[in-house]
Amino acid sequence: MRVRIAPSPTGDPHVGTAYIALMNLVFARQRQGRFVLRIEDTDRSRFVAASEQMIFDALHWLGLDWDEGPDVGGPYGPYRQSERTELYRRKVDELLAAGRAYRCFCTPERLEEMRRAQMAAKLPPRYDRHCRGLRGEEAQARVAAGTPFVVRLAVPESGATTFRDELRGDITFDHHQVDDQVLMKSDGYPTYHLANVVDDHEMQITDVIRAEEWISSTPKHVLLYQAFGWALPRFWHMPLLRNQDRSKISKRKNPVSLVYYRQAGFLPEAMVNYLGLLGGGMPAPSAEAKDAERFAFAEMVEKFQFERISLGGPVFDLEKLRWLNGVYLRRLTPEEFFAAVRGGPLADDYLRAICPLAQERIETLGQFFDLTDFFFRDEVLPPAETWVPKKRDAAAARKMAAQIAERLEAGDWTQEPLDAGLRALAAETDWSAKEVFMLLRAVVTGKTASPPLLESLVVMGRARSLARLRRFLDLTK
RNA sequence: GGCGCCAUCGUCUAGCGGCCUAGGACGUCGCCCUCUCAAGGCGAAGACCGCGGGUUCGAAUCCCGCUGGCGCUACCA
Protein backbone atom coordinates (compact mmCIF):
# COMPACT_ATOMS: atom_id res chain seq x y z
CA MET A 1 0.00 0.00 0.00
CA ARG A 2 1.48 3.33 -1.07
CA VAL A 3 -0.10 6.77 -0.82
CA ARG A 4 1.04 10.32 -1.39
CA ILE A 5 0.39 13.99 -1.08
CA ALA A 6 1.38 16.27 -3.88
CA PRO A 7 1.39 19.91 -2.84
CA SER A 8 2.37 22.73 -5.17
CA PRO A 9 4.88 25.26 -3.91
CA THR A 10 2.83 28.30 -4.85
CA GLY A 11 2.54 30.07 -1.52
CA ASP A 12 1.94 29.44 2.15
CA PRO A 13 1.29 25.82 3.15
CA HIS A 14 -2.47 25.32 3.15
CA VAL A 15 -4.68 23.85 5.84
CA GLY A 16 -6.31 21.73 3.15
CA THR A 17 -2.93 20.19 2.40
CA ALA A 18 -2.61 19.30 6.07
CA TYR A 19 -6.06 17.72 6.05
CA ILE A 20 -5.30 15.57 3.02
CA ALA A 21 -1.85 14.74 4.38
CA LEU A 22 -3.42 13.56 7.63
CA MET A 23 -5.90 11.35 5.80
CA ASN A 24 -3.12 9.82 3.72
CA LEU A 25 -0.87 9.25 6.71
CA VAL A 26 -3.61 7.59 8.73
CA PHE A 27 -4.42 5.39 5.77
CA ALA A 28 -0.78 4.40 5.33
CA ARG A 29 -0.17 3.69 9.01
CA GLN A 30 -3.28 1.57 9.23
CA ARG A 31 -2.11 -0.66 6.42
CA GLN A 32 1.64 -0.74 6.94
CA GLY A 33 1.92 1.40 3.83
CA ARG A 34 4.36 4.05 2.73
CA PHE A 35 3.56 7.75 2.67
CA VAL A 36 5.20 9.77 -0.08
CA LEU A 37 5.62 13.53 -0.40
CA ARG A 38 5.94 14.76 -3.95
CA ILE A 39 6.40 18.38 -4.91
CA GLU A 40 4.35 19.35 -7.95
CA ASP A 41 6.24 22.37 -9.19
CA THR A 42 5.33 22.31 -12.86
CA ASP A 43 3.72 25.73 -12.96
CA ARG A 44 6.62 28.09 -13.40
CA SER A 45 4.46 31.19 -13.28
CA ARG A 46 3.09 30.47 -9.82
CA PHE A 47 6.26 28.99 -8.36
CA VAL A 48 7.36 30.50 -5.05
CA ALA A 49 10.91 29.57 -4.10
CA ALA A 50 10.46 29.70 -0.33
CA SER A 51 7.26 27.72 -0.44
CA GLU A 52 8.70 24.22 -0.55
CA GLN A 53 10.62 24.62 2.70
CA MET A 54 7.55 26.17 4.31
CA ILE A 55 5.53 23.10 3.34
CA PHE A 56 8.15 20.80 4.85
CA ASP A 57 8.26 22.86 8.04
CA ALA A 58 4.51 23.07 8.43
CA LEU A 59 3.95 19.35 7.94
CA HIS A 60 6.79 18.46 10.28
CA TRP A 61 5.35 20.85 12.83
CA LEU A 62 2.10 18.89 12.67
CA GLY A 63 3.99 15.62 12.95
CA LEU A 64 2.78 14.49 9.54
CA ASP A 65 6.09 13.01 8.47
CA TRP A 66 6.66 11.23 5.18
CA ASP A 67 8.62 8.11 4.35
CA GLU A 68 9.84 9.27 0.96
CA GLY A 69 10.24 12.78 -0.39
CA PRO A 70 12.57 15.34 -1.92
CA ASP A 71 14.42 15.92 1.34
CA VAL A 72 14.63 12.34 2.63
CA GLY A 73 14.97 10.56 -0.69
CA GLY A 74 13.61 7.11 -1.47
CA PRO A 75 13.68 4.45 -4.15
CA TYR A 76 11.38 6.25 -6.60
CA GLY A 77 12.99 9.67 -6.75
CA PRO A 78 13.44 12.36 -7.70
CA TYR A 79 10.37 13.55 -5.81
CA ARG A 80 10.27 16.99 -7.34
CA GLN A 81 8.46 17.11 -10.66
CA SER A 82 10.69 19.79 -12.11
CA GLU A 83 13.47 17.19 -11.90
CA ARG A 84 11.50 14.63 -13.83
CA THR A 85 10.78 16.52 -17.03
CA GLU A 86 12.76 14.07 -19.14
CA LEU A 87 10.46 11.28 -18.03
CA TYR A 88 7.34 13.22 -18.95
CA ARG A 89 8.77 14.04 -22.34
CA ARG A 90 9.35 10.36 -23.03
CA LYS A 91 5.85 9.47 -21.93
CA VAL A 92 4.33 12.17 -24.08
CA ASP A 93 6.24 10.81 -27.06
CA GLU A 94 4.77 7.40 -26.37
CA LEU A 95 1.28 8.83 -26.36
CA LEU A 96 1.98 10.76 -29.54
CA ALA A 97 3.31 7.67 -31.27
CA ALA A 98 0.30 5.66 -30.19
CA GLY A 99 -2.11 8.31 -31.39
CA ARG A 100 -3.50 8.86 -27.91
CA ALA A 101 -2.34 12.46 -27.89
CA TYR A 102 -1.68 15.10 -30.51
CA ARG A 103 0.16 18.37 -30.98
CA CYS A 104 -1.89 21.53 -30.91
CA PHE A 105 -0.54 24.71 -32.46
CA CYS A 106 -3.45 26.95 -31.60
CA THR A 107 -2.44 30.31 -30.21
CA PRO A 108 -3.74 31.49 -26.85
CA GLU A 109 -5.54 34.23 -28.74
CA ARG A 110 -7.39 31.76 -30.91
CA LEU A 111 -8.34 29.68 -27.91
CA GLU A 112 -9.61 32.69 -26.09
CA GLU A 113 -11.65 33.83 -29.04
CA MET A 114 -13.04 30.36 -29.47
CA ARG A 115 -14.11 30.25 -25.85
CA ARG A 116 -15.72 33.65 -26.11
CA ALA A 117 -17.74 32.54 -29.11
CA GLN A 118 -18.80 29.36 -27.35
CA MET A 119 -19.87 31.28 -24.30
CA ALA A 120 -21.82 33.73 -26.41
CA ALA A 121 -23.57 30.82 -28.13
CA LYS A 122 -24.27 29.37 -24.68
CA LEU A 123 -22.19 26.33 -25.50
CA PRO A 124 -19.92 24.64 -22.98
CA PRO A 125 -16.40 26.03 -23.49
CA ARG A 126 -14.27 23.23 -24.84
CA TYR A 127 -11.37 22.87 -27.23
CA ASP A 128 -12.77 22.47 -30.74
CA ARG A 129 -10.13 19.90 -31.74
CA HIS A 130 -8.94 22.15 -34.51
CA CYS A 131 -5.49 20.53 -34.55
CA ARG A 132 -6.61 16.99 -33.88
CA GLY A 133 -6.83 16.06 -37.53
CA LEU A 134 -3.41 17.43 -38.45
CA ARG A 135 -1.40 14.98 -40.52
CA GLY A 136 1.89 13.74 -39.13
CA GLU A 137 4.01 15.46 -41.77
CA GLU A 138 2.31 18.78 -41.33
CA ALA A 139 2.74 18.68 -37.61
CA GLN A 140 6.40 17.75 -38.05
CA ALA A 141 6.86 20.65 -40.43
CA ARG A 142 5.42 23.12 -37.96
CA VAL A 143 7.55 21.75 -35.17
CA ALA A 144 10.60 22.06 -37.45
CA ALA A 145 9.59 25.64 -38.20
CA GLY A 146 9.70 26.35 -34.50
CA THR A 147 5.98 26.95 -34.02
CA PRO A 148 5.13 26.67 -30.34
CA PHE A 149 2.74 23.85 -29.47
CA VAL A 150 1.13 22.00 -26.64
CA VAL A 151 0.25 18.32 -26.51
CA ARG A 152 -3.35 17.39 -25.90
CA LEU A 153 -5.01 14.18 -24.84
CA ALA A 154 -7.06 12.62 -27.64
CA VAL A 155 -10.27 11.89 -25.80
CA PRO A 156 -12.41 9.27 -27.59
CA GLU A 157 -15.17 10.82 -29.71
CA SER A 158 -17.85 8.68 -28.15
CA GLY A 159 -18.51 6.43 -25.21
CA ALA A 160 -17.94 7.14 -21.56
CA THR A 161 -15.49 6.50 -18.77
CA THR A 162 -16.61 5.00 -15.51
CA PHE A 163 -14.38 4.77 -12.48
CA ARG A 164 -14.92 3.75 -8.92
CA ASP A 165 -14.66 6.23 -6.11
CA GLU A 166 -14.15 4.22 -2.94
CA LEU A 167 -16.39 6.53 -0.93
CA ARG A 168 -19.11 7.17 -3.53
CA GLY A 169 -19.25 4.17 -5.84
CA ASP A 170 -19.17 4.30 -9.63
CA ILE A 171 -19.01 7.67 -11.31
CA THR A 172 -19.51 8.01 -15.06
CA PHE A 173 -18.53 10.80 -17.41
CA ASP A 174 -19.66 10.89 -21.01
CA HIS A 175 -16.70 11.52 -23.30
CA HIS A 176 -18.53 14.42 -24.89
CA GLN A 177 -18.08 16.13 -21.53
CA VAL A 178 -14.35 15.57 -21.37
CA ASP A 179 -12.09 18.18 -22.93
CA ASP A 180 -8.95 17.35 -24.90
CA GLN A 181 -6.84 18.30 -21.93
CA VAL A 182 -3.43 19.88 -22.39
CA LEU A 183 -0.85 17.37 -21.16
CA MET A 184 2.29 19.29 -21.96
CA LYS A 185 2.55 23.04 -22.06
CA SER A 186 4.45 24.98 -24.69
CA ASP A 187 7.24 25.59 -22.19
CA GLY A 188 7.86 21.85 -22.12
CA TYR A 189 6.51 21.34 -18.63
CA PRO A 190 3.73 18.82 -18.10
CA THR A 191 0.37 19.79 -16.65
CA TYR A 192 -0.87 18.32 -13.42
CA HIS A 193 -2.87 15.66 -15.22
CA LEU A 194 0.05 14.09 -17.05
CA ALA A 195 2.70 14.46 -14.37
CA ASN A 196 0.36 13.22 -11.70
CA VAL A 197 -0.60 10.04 -13.53
CA VAL A 198 2.93 9.27 -14.66
CA ASP A 199 4.36 9.82 -11.19
CA ASP A 200 1.63 7.95 -9.37
CA HIS A 201 2.36 5.01 -11.60
CA GLU A 202 6.14 5.27 -11.46
CA MET A 203 6.01 5.68 -7.69
CA GLN A 204 3.70 2.69 -7.39
CA ILE A 205 0.94 4.62 -5.68
CA THR A 206 -1.91 2.24 -4.91
CA ASP A 207 -4.41 4.66 -3.41
CA VAL A 208 -4.98 8.21 -4.54
CA ILE A 209 -6.48 10.07 -1.60
CA ARG A 210 -7.13 13.64 -2.64
CA ALA A 211 -9.73 16.40 -2.47
CA GLU A 212 -13.15 16.20 -4.07
CA GLU A 213 -12.38 18.97 -6.53
CA TRP A 214 -10.48 16.38 -8.58
CA ILE A 215 -13.46 14.21 -9.34
CA SER A 216 -14.28 15.90 -12.60
CA SER A 217 -10.78 15.50 -13.96
CA THR A 218 -10.48 11.87 -12.93
CA PRO A 219 -11.84 10.57 -16.26
CA LYS A 220 -8.89 12.25 -17.97
CA HIS A 221 -6.57 10.49 -15.59
CA VAL A 222 -8.28 7.15 -16.16
CA LEU A 223 -7.98 7.64 -19.91
CA LEU A 224 -4.27 8.24 -19.44
CA TYR A 225 -3.76 5.12 -17.35
CA GLN A 226 -5.55 3.18 -20.07
CA ALA A 227 -3.54 4.78 -22.85
CA PHE A 228 -0.36 3.68 -21.09
CA GLY A 229 -1.78 0.27 -20.29
CA TRP A 230 -1.32 0.80 -16.56
CA ALA A 231 -3.42 -0.54 -13.73
CA LEU A 232 -5.61 2.03 -12.00
CA PRO A 233 -5.02 3.04 -8.40
CA ARG A 234 -8.00 3.24 -6.07
CA PHE A 235 -9.49 6.73 -5.83
CA TRP A 236 -10.68 8.24 -2.55
CA HIS A 237 -12.03 11.75 -2.95
CA MET A 238 -12.24 13.52 0.38
CA PRO A 239 -14.83 16.21 1.09
CA LEU A 240 -13.68 19.76 0.56
CA LEU A 241 -13.16 22.02 3.57
CA ARG A 242 -15.52 25.00 3.43
CA ASN A 243 -15.81 28.61 4.51
CA GLN A 244 -18.77 29.66 6.68
CA ASP A 245 -20.73 30.40 3.52
CA ARG A 246 -19.97 26.88 2.29
CA SER A 247 -17.75 27.88 -0.58
CA LYS A 248 -14.43 26.08 -0.93
CA ILE A 249 -12.18 27.23 1.90
CA SER A 250 -10.16 30.26 0.87
CA LYS A 251 -7.78 32.79 2.32
CA ARG A 252 -10.24 35.56 1.66
CA LYS A 253 -12.63 34.17 4.21
CA ASN A 254 -10.51 32.11 6.58
CA PRO A 255 -7.01 31.94 7.92
CA VAL A 256 -5.84 29.17 5.67
CA SER A 257 -2.09 29.28 6.10
CA LEU A 258 -0.53 26.77 8.45
CA VAL A 259 2.04 29.45 9.17
CA TYR A 260 -0.76 31.51 10.67
CA TYR A 261 -1.93 28.72 12.97
CA ARG A 262 1.57 28.06 14.19
CA GLN A 263 2.28 31.74 14.65
CA ALA A 264 -1.02 32.34 16.42
CA GLY A 265 -0.18 29.69 18.98
CA PHE A 266 -2.20 26.65 18.06
CA LEU A 267 -0.74 23.37 19.22
CA PRO A 268 -0.01 20.86 16.48
CA GLU A 269 -1.79 18.12 18.43
CA ALA A 270 -4.96 20.20 18.63
CA MET A 271 -4.72 21.04 14.96
CA VAL A 272 -4.40 17.39 13.96
CA ASN A 273 -7.20 16.45 16.33
CA TYR A 274 -9.52 19.06 14.88
CA LEU A 275 -8.74 18.05 11.31
CA GLY A 276 -9.46 14.47 12.25
CA LEU A 277 -12.86 15.53 13.52
CA LEU A 278 -13.92 17.02 10.21
CA GLY A 279 -15.81 14.68 7.96
CA GLY A 280 -16.42 12.09 10.62
CA GLY A 281 -14.46 8.90 10.34
CA MET A 282 -14.01 8.30 14.03
CA PRO A 283 -16.44 5.98 15.80
CA ALA A 284 -19.59 7.37 17.38
CA PRO A 285 -18.88 8.76 20.84
CA SER A 286 -20.51 6.61 23.45
CA ALA A 287 -22.73 8.27 26.04
CA GLU A 288 -20.15 7.72 28.79
CA ALA A 289 -17.08 8.87 26.92
CA LYS A 290 -17.50 12.59 27.41
CA ASP A 291 -14.32 13.62 25.71
CA ALA A 292 -14.65 11.29 22.75
CA GLU A 293 -13.83 14.18 20.46
CA ARG A 294 -10.36 14.44 21.86
CA PHE A 295 -7.97 11.99 20.33
CA ALA A 296 -4.33 11.76 19.31
CA PHE A 297 -2.95 10.65 15.99
CA ALA A 298 -2.22 7.14 17.31
CA GLU A 299 -5.85 6.75 18.25
CA MET A 300 -6.88 7.81 14.79
CA VAL A 301 -4.71 5.13 13.29
CA GLU A 302 -6.41 2.67 15.57
CA LYS A 303 -10.01 3.68 15.05
CA PHE A 304 -10.48 5.88 11.99
CA GLN A 305 -12.62 4.31 9.29
CA PHE A 306 -12.62 5.80 5.82
CA GLU A 307 -15.94 4.18 5.05
CA ARG A 308 -17.51 6.33 7.76
CA ILE A 309 -16.57 9.64 6.25
CA SER A 310 -19.54 11.88 5.58
CA LEU A 311 -19.43 13.45 2.19
CA GLY A 312 -20.97 16.84 2.86
CA GLY A 313 -18.14 19.37 2.87
CA PRO A 314 -17.49 20.42 6.48
CA VAL A 315 -17.32 24.09 7.41
CA PHE A 316 -13.97 24.85 9.00
CA ASP A 317 -15.06 26.20 12.36
CA LEU A 318 -12.37 28.33 13.93
CA GLU A 319 -14.44 28.65 17.11
CA LYS A 320 -14.37 24.95 17.73
CA LEU A 321 -10.70 24.71 16.85
CA ARG A 322 -10.02 27.42 19.44
CA TRP A 323 -12.00 25.54 22.04
CA LEU A 324 -10.14 22.31 21.29
CA ASN A 325 -6.82 24.11 21.43
CA GLY A 326 -7.85 25.44 24.83
CA VAL A 327 -8.55 21.91 25.98
CA TYR A 328 -5.08 20.86 24.91
CA LEU A 329 -3.47 23.90 26.50
CA ARG A 330 -5.16 23.22 29.83
CA ARG A 331 -4.02 19.63 29.85
CA LEU A 332 -0.35 20.51 29.57
CA THR A 333 1.76 20.21 32.70
CA PRO A 334 3.08 23.53 34.00
CA GLU A 335 6.45 22.66 32.57
CA GLU A 336 5.00 21.79 29.18
CA PHE A 337 2.95 24.96 29.16
CA PHE A 338 6.03 27.00 29.95
CA ALA A 339 7.88 25.30 27.13
CA ALA A 340 4.96 25.96 24.78
CA VAL A 341 4.91 29.67 25.57
CA ARG A 342 8.65 29.90 25.20
CA GLY A 343 8.55 28.06 21.91
CA GLY A 344 5.56 30.00 20.63
CA PRO A 345 4.97 33.69 21.33
CA LEU A 346 8.33 34.05 23.04
CA ALA A 347 10.31 31.97 20.58
CA ASP A 348 13.88 33.24 20.38
CA ASP A 349 13.82 34.06 16.69
CA TYR A 350 10.54 35.95 17.02
CA LEU A 351 11.69 37.93 20.05
CA ARG A 352 15.04 38.61 18.47
CA ALA A 353 13.34 40.14 15.45
CA ILE A 354 11.11 42.31 17.62
CA CYS A 355 13.78 43.61 19.99
CA PRO A 356 15.56 45.99 17.60
CA LEU A 357 12.22 47.65 16.88
CA ALA A 358 11.70 48.40 20.57
CA GLN A 359 15.18 49.04 21.87
CA GLU A 360 15.51 52.71 20.98
CA ARG A 361 11.91 53.50 21.83
CA ILE A 362 11.71 52.54 25.49
CA GLU A 363 13.30 53.81 28.70
CA THR A 364 12.64 50.85 30.95
CA LEU A 365 12.22 47.18 30.12
CA GLY A 366 8.81 47.41 31.69
CA GLN A 367 7.66 49.37 28.68
CA PHE A 368 8.67 46.61 26.34
CA PHE A 369 5.27 44.94 26.20
CA ASP A 370 3.41 48.24 26.28
CA LEU A 371 5.05 49.03 23.00
CA THR A 372 5.11 45.62 21.38
CA ASP A 373 1.95 44.02 22.72
CA PHE A 374 0.41 43.75 19.26
CA PHE A 375 3.10 41.24 18.28
CA PHE A 376 1.73 38.89 20.90
CA ARG A 377 -1.95 39.66 20.91
CA ASP A 378 -4.55 38.69 18.35
CA GLU A 379 -7.47 40.75 19.53
CA VAL A 380 -6.36 44.14 18.42
CA LEU A 381 -9.19 46.50 17.54
CA PRO A 382 -8.43 50.19 17.41
CA PRO A 383 -11.09 52.73 18.44
CA ALA A 384 -12.62 54.45 15.42
CA GLU A 385 -10.93 57.80 16.08
CA THR A 386 -7.54 56.21 15.52
CA TRP A 387 -8.27 54.62 12.17
CA VAL A 388 -10.62 57.08 10.52
CA PRO A 389 -8.51 59.95 9.17
CA LYS A 390 -9.69 63.49 9.67
CA LYS A 391 -12.00 64.59 6.87
CA ARG A 392 -12.88 61.00 5.97
CA ASP A 393 -15.56 58.67 7.22
CA ALA A 394 -15.50 55.12 8.51
CA ALA A 395 -16.90 53.65 5.30
CA ALA A 396 -14.11 55.18 3.26
CA ALA A 397 -11.50 53.97 5.70
CA ARG A 398 -12.94 50.49 5.68
CA LYS A 399 -12.88 50.46 1.93
CA MET A 400 -9.26 51.51 1.95
CA ALA A 401 -8.43 48.80 4.48
CA ALA A 402 -10.01 46.25 2.14
CA GLN A 403 -7.91 47.56 -0.72
CA ILE A 404 -4.80 47.35 1.40
CA ALA A 405 -5.60 43.75 2.25
CA GLU A 406 -6.06 42.95 -1.41
CA ARG A 407 -2.85 44.69 -2.38
CA LEU A 408 -0.84 42.92 0.28
CA GLU A 409 -2.07 39.46 -0.70
CA ALA A 410 0.38 39.36 -3.57
CA GLY A 411 4.06 40.16 -3.67
CA ASP A 412 6.97 39.38 -1.41
CA TRP A 413 6.64 40.02 2.28
CA THR A 414 9.67 42.22 2.66
CA GLN A 415 9.98 45.89 3.30
CA GLU A 416 10.63 47.15 -0.21
CA PRO A 417 7.67 45.61 -2.03
CA LEU A 418 5.38 46.35 0.90
CA ASP A 419 6.41 49.97 0.81
CA ALA A 420 6.04 50.18 -2.95
CA GLY A 421 2.65 48.48 -2.87
CA LEU A 422 1.23 50.81 -0.26
CA ARG A 423 2.58 53.93 -1.93
CA ALA A 424 1.25 52.79 -5.29
CA LEU A 425 -2.14 52.25 -3.73
CA ALA A 426 -2.08 55.75 -2.31
CA ALA A 427 -1.09 57.16 -5.68
CA GLU A 428 -3.99 55.40 -7.36
CA THR A 429 -6.48 56.87 -4.94
CA ASP A 430 -7.01 60.26 -3.35
CA TRP A 431 -5.41 59.03 -0.17
CA SER A 432 -2.01 60.25 0.89
CA ALA A 433 0.67 57.68 1.66
CA LYS A 434 0.67 59.02 5.20
CA GLU A 435 -3.03 58.31 5.63
CA VAL A 436 -2.65 54.80 4.23
CA PHE A 437 0.22 54.00 6.57
CA MET A 438 -1.62 55.44 9.54
CA LEU A 439 -4.72 53.42 8.84
CA LEU A 440 -2.74 50.21 8.47
CA ARG A 441 -0.81 51.00 11.63
CA ALA A 442 -4.02 51.44 13.59
CA VAL A 443 -5.48 48.22 12.25
CA VAL A 444 -2.40 46.11 12.86
CA THR A 445 -1.13 47.56 16.12
CA GLY A 446 -4.31 48.98 17.56
CA LYS A 447 -2.60 52.30 18.20
CA THR A 448 -1.43 55.47 16.53
CA ALA A 449 2.11 55.20 17.84
CA SER A 450 4.10 52.06 17.20
CA PRO A 451 7.43 50.74 16.06
CA PRO A 452 8.03 51.21 12.33
CA LEU A 453 5.06 49.80 10.48
CA LEU A 454 6.77 48.03 7.62
CA GLU A 455 9.38 46.37 9.79
CA SER A 456 6.68 45.29 12.19
CA LEU A 457 4.67 43.77 9.36
CA VAL A 458 7.68 41.84 8.15
CA VAL A 459 8.38 40.43 11.60
CA MET A 460 4.77 39.52 12.18
CA GLY A 461 4.58 37.74 8.87
CA ARG A 462 2.13 37.78 6.01
CA ALA A 463 -0.37 35.26 7.33
CA ARG A 464 -0.84 36.88 10.70
CA SER A 465 -0.83 40.44 9.41
CA LEU A 466 -3.45 39.70 6.80
CA ALA A 467 -5.51 37.75 9.30
CA ARG A 468 -5.56 40.85 11.45
CA LEU A 469 -6.68 43.00 8.54
CA ARG A 470 -9.45 40.58 7.70
CA ARG A 471 -10.54 40.44 11.31
CA PHE A 472 -10.72 44.21 11.35
CA LEU A 473 -12.85 44.24 8.21
CA ASP A 474 -15.05 41.62 9.78
CA LEU A 475 -15.56 43.44 13.05
CA THR A 476 -16.28 46.79 11.46
CA LYS A 477 -18.78 45.38 8.99
C1' G B 1 -25.08 27.31 -19.27
C1' G B 2 -22.97 21.92 -19.32
C1' C B 3 -21.30 17.90 -16.40
C1' G B 4 -20.35 15.83 -11.62
C1' C B 5 -20.69 15.44 -6.30
C1' C B 6 -23.46 16.40 -1.96
C1' A B 7 -27.95 17.36 1.47
C1' U B 8 -29.78 15.54 10.01
C1' C B 9 -29.81 21.48 15.23
C1' G B 10 -26.27 28.16 13.43
C1' U B 11 -21.55 24.73 13.00
C1' C B 12 -19.00 19.56 13.39
C1' U B 13 -21.45 15.10 13.65
C1' A B 14 -24.31 10.10 15.67
C1' G B 15 -27.99 7.41 13.15
C1' C B 16 -26.97 2.65 8.34
C1' G B 17 -35.96 0.03 8.19
C1' G B 18 -38.85 -0.46 14.01
C1' C B 19 -34.50 0.86 20.06
C1' C B 20 -35.79 8.34 17.30
C1' U B 21 -41.23 11.97 21.23
C1' A B 22 -33.54 12.15 16.48
C1' G B 23 -28.09 11.34 20.52
C1' G B 24 -23.21 13.93 21.44
C1' A B 25 -19.74 18.19 20.75
C1' C B 26 -18.81 23.63 19.58
C1' G B 27 -21.40 28.08 19.93
C1' U B 28 -25.67 30.67 22.47
C1' C B 29 -28.66 31.44 27.05
C1' G B 30 -29.61 30.49 32.42
C1' C B 31 -28.09 28.67 37.28
C1' C B 32 -24.06 26.99 40.63
C1' C B 33 -18.93 27.73 42.13
C1' U B 34 -16.23 32.39 42.66
C1' C B 35 -12.57 38.89 44.53
C1' U B 36 -12.65 39.45 38.46
C1' C B 37 -12.15 36.61 34.11
C1' A B 38 -11.70 31.92 32.59
C1' A B 39 -12.01 26.82 33.64
C1' G B 40 -15.43 23.36 35.87
C1' G B 41 -20.55 21.46 37.34
C1' C B 42 -25.85 21.54 36.27
C1' G B 43 -29.71 22.90 32.98
C1' A B 44 -32.28 25.24 28.63
C1' A B 45 -33.33 26.81 23.84
C1' G B 46 -32.04 24.93 19.06
C1' A B 47 -33.36 19.84 13.45
C1' C B 48 -41.51 19.26 11.09
C1' C B 49 -34.14 14.73 9.43
C1' G B 50 -34.29 20.47 2.23
C1' C B 51 -39.29 19.63 -0.54
C1' G B 52 -42.65 16.17 -3.13
C1' G B 53 -43.74 11.42 -4.53
C1' G B 54 -43.11 6.23 -4.08
C1' U B 55 -41.49 1.03 -1.76
C1' U B 56 -42.86 -1.12 3.10
C1' C B 57 -47.10 -3.30 8.33
C1' G B 58 -43.30 0.54 9.47
C1' A B 59 -38.37 5.44 6.57
C1' A B 60 -33.94 10.31 8.89
C1' U B 61 -32.47 5.52 7.06
C1' C B 62 -34.24 2.25 0.33
C1' C B 63 -35.95 4.30 -4.84
C1' C B 64 -37.46 8.46 -8.14
C1' G B 65 -38.27 13.62 -9.13
C1' C B 66 -37.55 18.60 -7.63
C1' U B 67 -34.97 22.33 -5.06
C1' G B 68 -30.63 24.05 -2.98
C1' G B 69 -25.31 24.06 -2.00
C1' C B 70 -20.61 23.05 -3.81
C1' G B 71 -16.90 21.63 -7.40
C1' C B 72 -14.97 21.37 -12.35
C1' U B 73 -15.53 23.73 -16.94
C1' A B 74 -7.14 27.27 -17.92
C1' C B 75 -0.82 26.10 -21.75
C1' C B 76 -3.37 26.48 -12.30
C1' A B 77 -2.99 22.75 -9.31
**What ipTM does this complex have?**
0.95
Residues 411-430 of A with CB under 7 A from strand B: none
Q: Which nucleotides of B are covered by protein (CB under 7 A)?
A: 1-8, 10-15, 23-27, 39-41, 69-77
Closest residue by C-alpha to C1' distance, nucleotide B24? A285
Residues 318-357 of A with CB under 7 A from strand B: 319-320, 323, 326-327, 330
How far is it, in rounded angstroms, from Cα A376 to Cα A268? 19
Task: Report pTM.
Answer: 0.93
Q: Is the CB of A118 under 7 A from strand B?
A: no
Q: Count the neighbouring beta carbons within 10 Å of the beta carbon of residue A196.
A: 24
List the catalytic residues of A: 251
pLDDT score for A285: 63
pLDDT score for A22: 98
pLDDT score for A133: 83
Average pLDDT per run of 10 along chain A, which is 477 residues long?
Answer: 96 96 97 97 92 97 97 94 96 94 92 88 87 84 89 94 95 94 95 97 97 96 97 97 94 92 95 95 68 91 94 95 96 94 91 94 92 89 84 90 88 89 93 94 91 94 90 83
pLDDT score for A290: 64
pLDDT score for A280: 87
Tell me the C-alpha to C-alpha distance, in Å, between residue A324 and each of A64, A270, A398, A463.
Answer: 19, 6, 32, 21
Q: How far is CA A237 from the centre of its chain?
A: 17
pLDDT score for A471: 87
Instruction: Say if residue A74 is exposed, middle or buried (CB neighbours under 10 Å; 0-12, 13-18, 19+).
Output: middle
Phi-psi label, residue A303: left if phi above 0, alpha if psi -120 to 50, beta otherwise: alpha
Residues 359-388 of A with CB under 7 A from strand B: none
Q: Is the CB of A310 under 7 A from strand B?
A: yes
pLDDT score for A286: 57
pLDDT score for A379: 82
pLDDT score for A289: 55
